[in-house]
Amino acid sequence: MPVRNLSLITFAVVLVSAALGDPVKPLWPEAFSAPFGLYVAFPSVKNATSHFYYDWGNRSTLIDYPQHCINAIPLLSPSHPCKIYFNANGSYLSIPALGKQCCTLFAGVGPVPPAFLAGFNYTGTQDAKDYYGNNHHCNYWSDSTGFGYWTDIQTDLDIYFRDGPTGTYWAWGDLTEGPQNQSLFELPGTPEQCATTCFKLEEETNAVLAAEPMLKLAVAHAARNRRGL
């Protein structure tokens, strides 16, 4: 085929792609809950049942790890359950088995907004499995740090969430939209306890940030807000 014809075909493909455009980024509902399966590379955790509760109107999120906490540092042994809370004032950790009823992870880092894919770019389509092992054909979104997010092409529902190169994944279950019980988001300690910084060493705080994907995403959104993006 002549080179000129190849150029015309390539140009036509570019025009069609531009006309179609990338898929519209899905938005989270204002309030919902969903189970998800936690996967960690080391020590190995596979599809550990966890729960996500969200209420944007009240700027509240709860991540409940009833089987395995995030694997960050020895203090946060994955053999213990833990919870991570987000509100308008910041993010908080509760891991009573290790003597931390409530403490501050990051002041000023609240919930991820409904536009949770802000900062992500459409990368193409891929297949991914959900919490139940069902396969979905998905739009695949990624960012410059290695985050990956898969949403179902037909329903826009969350299917899979990859935390960069850390080997930590979330496999989402069915999302249930609707008002959430506000008692779920109440911090489990006294104001004095919850105002206490969880870790004295910056290295320990950074290790927690590196290990918990939604916390890392919340920090990224807070940084975008500060830059006016």
Q: Average pLDDT, whole number, for the chain?
A: 84
Per-residue confidence at 220, pLDDT binned at 50, 70, 90? confident
Whether the per-residue pLDDT at 10 is higher than 50: the answer is no
Closest CA relative to residue 52, chosen from 131, 139, 148:
131
- Residue 210: partners with Cβ closer than 8 Å, 6 or more residues away: 72, 166, 216
Percent of the chain with pLDDT over 90: 58
* Beta-strand pair 158-162/169-172: antiparallel
Whether 158 and 34 have beta carbons less than 8 Å apart is answered as yes
Interval 76-129: pLDDT, tens: 556 788 999 999 999 999 988 888 899 998 899 999 999 999 989 999 999 999
Distance, C-alpha 150 to centroid of its chain: 11
pLDDT of 177 over the 60 cut: yes
* Cα separation, 6 vs 100, whole angstroms: 65
223 falls in which pLDDT band (50, 70, 90)? confident
The answer to whether residue 131 scores a pLDDT higher than 50 is yes
Give, in order, the Cα–Cα distances in Å from 145 to each of 50, 151, 217, 221, 225.
Answer: 25, 19, 11, 13, 18
Q: Kindly tell me if the per-residue pLDDT of 132 is higher than 50.
A: yes
- Render pLDDT for 32-57 as a digit per residue (tens, 0 to 9): 999 999 998 777 889 999 999 999 99
Reported as a pLDDT band with limits 50, 70 and 90, residue 70 is confident
pLDDT at 65 over 90: yes
How does DSSP classify residue 202?
H
Beta bridge partners of 94: 83
SS3 assignment, position 134: coil
